[in-house]
């Protein structure tokens, strides 16, 4: 009888713990921001993705990371320093031939599907800064897009290729990429519920000719300062939210 009671009690505790975990309303997808365009995305299966790692000259602290995958949107020093990653990660480059051509990326790492959409680093079809690749990550029923150093508003074909996304990491600082106004246009095209601005000026990049995030935030509602690390909610926002992350 005691054994039966113990089993029933244990089962009840497990059920309660499961219900509490569900009630917290958090997916097991986590984002950490290291500055510039560098994030560490952790998928529910434990796969970790390091995006666009910067080198030491950029000015941000170098993180201690050992990801499963490193993605590189284009071959510039502030986005392709794969040596940031410890261990032996799979490196997926959005461009090939030293950045001259787009790679056709469709990879499966763990339970994460990784694809790319060809774009340009400037508004003149790459004549000034070359090519760029948007990365789309699919996991746990979610689709996250990292736009790299996107330099223009998307074409209709590019919008279709990106598809429906739940989270977008978008450059907003201008000069090297789209600026605040163009970022608004891109967001109107892809309509994600969660927007995470990146590639803006901070104290670490004070000498850079890019705008601070406040230029993008002017006049916008539903802005949340979510810190250095954030978990995605089980229920996504019904209207657009802007999540401003900090690099430390």
Q: Are 227 and 242 in contact (CB under 8 A)?
A: no
**145 beta partners:** 136, 168
Asked if pLDDT for residue 10 goes beyond 50, the answer is no
Class of the domain covering 45-245: alpha beta
Q: Are 214 and 223 in contact (CB under 8 A)?
A: no
Which tokens belong to 35? 């500055």
Average pLDDT of the residues of the chain = 91
Name the DSSP letter for residue 114: E
Q: What does the domain layout of the chain look like in residue ranges?
A: 45-245
- HSE (side-chain half, CA atoms, 13 Å) at 197: 32
- pLDDT tens digit sequence for 180-219: 999 999 999 999 999 999 999 999 999 999 999 999 999 9
> Which is nearest to 241 in space by CA: 227, 220, 218?
220
Q: Quote the pTM value.
A: 0.89
């Amino acid at each position: 009888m005691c054994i039966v009671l113990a089993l029933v009690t244990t089962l009840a505790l497990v059920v309660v713990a499961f219900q509490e975990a569900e009630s917290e309303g958090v997916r097991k997808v986590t984002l950490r921001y290291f500055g510039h365009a560098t994030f560490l995305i952790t998928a529910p299966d434990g796969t970790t993705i390091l995006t666009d790692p910067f080198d030491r000259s950029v000015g941000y602290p170098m993180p201690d990371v050992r990801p499963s995958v490193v993605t590189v949107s284009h071959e510039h020093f502030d986005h392709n320093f794969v040596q940031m990653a410890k261990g032996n990660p799979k490196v997926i480059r959005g461009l090939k031939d030293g950045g001259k051509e787009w790679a056709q990326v469709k990879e499966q790492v763990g339970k994460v599907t990784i694809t790319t959409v060809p774009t340009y680093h400037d508004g003149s079809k790459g004549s000034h800064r070359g090519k760029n690749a948007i990365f789309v990550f699919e996991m746990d029923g979610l689709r996250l897009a990292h736009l790299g150093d996107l330099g223009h508003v998307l074409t209709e074909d590019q919008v279709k290729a990106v598809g429906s996304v739940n989270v977008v990491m978008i450059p907003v600082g201008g000069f090297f990429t789209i600026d605040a106004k163009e970022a608004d246009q891109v967001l109107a095209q892809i309509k994600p519920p969660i927007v995470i601005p990146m590639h803006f000026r901070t104290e670490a990049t004070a000498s850079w000719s890019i705008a601070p995030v406040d230029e993008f935030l002017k006049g916008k509602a539903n802005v949340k300062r979510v810190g250095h690390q954030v978990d995605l909610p089980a229920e996504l926002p019904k209207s657009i939210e802007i999540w401003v992350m900090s690099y430390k």
